[in-house]
């Protein structure tokens, strides 16, 4: 009896092990994960082709020979035969050897897609830098009269000039002309919708203008609040709305000047209004024009 029991136990263990050996491992990724990874790789490759064409056009406009231009870093391609993702039922219907081969092939495919994505990301960044430099060279070669961005540059200069005027206004003038400011700001945002605004060469300038618009908008709100609270803005009417940084100036020193605030502790007000041009409150430079909130 004992012998029979022992044989049964051994048989059950062997059967269990055989069943476990035959049970397929779950697929390493879902179909959605695989399709997303593949589409990202394809989209990146398409973007690379677009940038390569744009780079070639700029080089042609500059008179460069393609053979003398800087080579694009080599990259892999996903143009080989498409990997077919099997459903769970199809995967389980395979023989154990085929399942093992398919499992390993899927892992290799995901690794290849990730490699393509990484390499094309690097290539895209490289081409964008090259294209920006070629655009600068083209502008320099053509001169301002034939600058394809001349009209857009003129608009940005206009907003810069208008903002300089607004940055010098007193509280009374800010409140009086608030409606005009809204019109100017709306016009600026319409300009930001133009195609040229998306070009990297204008990104920093547009961001700077937007910060200045926001600072003036905040100054108008503060002026209205002060007027509603005190009923008068005459105390700050004749005080300057801007200050030009001098050698050996720092924010608390500027704030302590009688014609600014007469109180060194108010330097954070100056810093908050000028964050578009001051990254570190301990680091300001001569000839910087600071907004002085009133």
Q: What is the pLDDT of residues 143-177, one digit of tens each?
A: 555 567 778 888 998 999 998 888 888 888 888 88
Of 189 and 59, which is predicted with more confidence?
189
Tell whether the model's pLDDT for residue 29 goes beyond 80.
no
Whether residue 197 is found in the same domain as residue 123: no
Torsion sign across C-alpha atoms 113, 114, 119, 124 = positive
Whether residue 51 is found in the same domain as residue 116: yes
Of 254 and 61, which is predicted with more confidence?
254
Whole-number pLDDT of residue 130: 85
Between CA 290 and CA 260 the distance in angstroms is 11
pTM for this structure? 0.39
106-127 average pLDDT score: 87
- The number of domains in the chain is 3
Q: What is the pLDDT of residues 259-269, one digit of tens each?
A: 788 788 888 88
CATH number at residue 267: 3.10.350.10
How far from chain centre, in Å, is Cα 233? 41
The answer as to whether 209 is a domain residue is yes
Whether residue 222 is found in the same domain as residue 281: no
Name the residue among 105, 93, 97, 135 with its Cα closest to residue 29: 105
Mean pLDDT of the chain: 77
Which of 139, 163, 183 represents a domain boundary (last residue)?
Answer: 139
Which of 139, 164, 189 represents a domain boundary (last residue)?
Answer: 139
Whether residue 243 is found in the same domain as residue 286: yes
Between CA 142 and CA 84 the distance in angstroms is 52
Whether residue 253 is found in the same domain as residue 267: yes
Whether residue 225 is found in the same domain as residue 262: no
Task: Report the share of the chain in percent with pLDDT over 70.
Answer: 78
The answer as to whether 65 is a domain residue is yes
209-236 average pLDDT score: 72
**Parent domain of 233:** 149-238
The answer as to whether 144 is a domain residue is no
Whether residue 52 is found in the same domain as residue 133: yes
Whole-number pLDDT of residue 188: 93
Task: Report the share of the chain in percent with pLDDT over 90.
Answer: 4
Whether residue 201 is found in the same domain as residue 265: no
198-214 average pLDDT score: 84
Name the residue among 190, 193, 206 with its Cα closest to residue 153: 206
The answer as to whether 263 is a domain residue is yes
SS (H, E, C) the chain: CHHHHHHHHHHHHHHHHHHHHHCCCCCCCCHHHHHHHHHHHHHHHHHHHHHHHHHHHHHHHHCCCHHHCCCCCCCCCCCCCCCCCCCHHHHHCCCHHHHHHHHHHHHHHHHHHHHHHHHHHHHHHHHHHHHHHHHHHHHHHHCHHHCCCHHHHHHHHHHHHHHHHHCCCCHHHHHHCHHHHHHHHHHHHHHCCCHHHHCHHHHHHHHHHHHHHHHHHHHHHHHHHHHHHHCCCHHHCCCCCEEECCCCCCHHHHHHCCCCCCCHHHHHHHHHHCCCCCCCCCCCCCCCEEECCC
Whether residue 187 is found in the same domain as residue 162: yes
Q: How confident is the model at residue 23 (pLDDT cuts 50, 70, 90)?
A: low
The answer as to whether 5 is a domain residue is no
Whether residue 35 is found in the same domain as residue 89: yes
Alpha-carbon distance values, 175 to 35, 101, 179, 247 (Å): 56, 74, 9, 33
Of 68 and 12, which is predicted with more confidence?
12
11-25 average pLDDT score: 52
Q: What is the pLDDT of residues 40-92, one digit of tens each?
A: 888 888 888 888 888 887 777 767 765 444 444 444 444 445 678 787 778 77
Name the residue among 13, 15, 11, 31 with its Cα closest to residue 23: 15
Whole-number pLDDT of residue 70: 43
Whether residue 40 is found in the same domain as residue 88: yes
Whether residue 210 is found in the same domain as residue 165: yes
Which of 238, 258, 282 represents a domain boundary (last residue)?
Answer: 238
């Amino acid at each position: 009896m004992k012998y029979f029991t022992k044989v049964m136990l051994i048989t059950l263990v062997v059967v269990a092990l055989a069943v476990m050996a035959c049970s397929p491992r779950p697929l390493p990724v879902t179909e959605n994960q695989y399709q997303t990874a593949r589409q990202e790789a394809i989209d990146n490759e398409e973007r690379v082709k677009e940038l390569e064409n744009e780079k070639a056009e700029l080089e042609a406009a500059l008179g460069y020979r393609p053979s003398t231009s800087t080579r694009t870093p080599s990259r892999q391609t996903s143009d080989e035969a498409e990997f077919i993702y099997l459903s769970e039922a199809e995967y389980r219907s395979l023989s154990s050897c085929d399942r093992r081969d398919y499992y390993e092939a899927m892992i290799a495919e995901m690794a290849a897609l990730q490699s393509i994505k990484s390499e094309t990301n690097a290539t895209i960044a490289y081409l964008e830098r090259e294209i920006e430099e070629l655009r600068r060279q083209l502008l320099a070669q053509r001169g301002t009269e034939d600058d394809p961005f001349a009209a857009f540059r003129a608009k940005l200069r206009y907003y810069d000039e208008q903002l300089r005027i607004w940055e010098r206004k007193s509280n009374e003038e800010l409140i009086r002309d608030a409606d005009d400011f809204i019109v100017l700001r709306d016009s600026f945002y319409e300009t930001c919708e133009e195609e040229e605004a998306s070009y990297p060469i204008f990104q920093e300038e547009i961001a700077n203008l937007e910060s200045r618009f926001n600072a003036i908008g905040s100054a108008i709100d503060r002026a209205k609040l002060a007027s509603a609270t005190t009923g008068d803005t005459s105390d700050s009417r004749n005080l300057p709305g801007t200050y030009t940084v001098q050698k050996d100036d720092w924010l608390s020193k500027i704030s302590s000047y009688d014609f600014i605030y007469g109180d060194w502790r108010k330097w954070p007000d100056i810093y908050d209004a000028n964050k578009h041009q001051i990254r570190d409150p301990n680091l300001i430079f001569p000839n910087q024009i600071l907004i002085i909130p009133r």
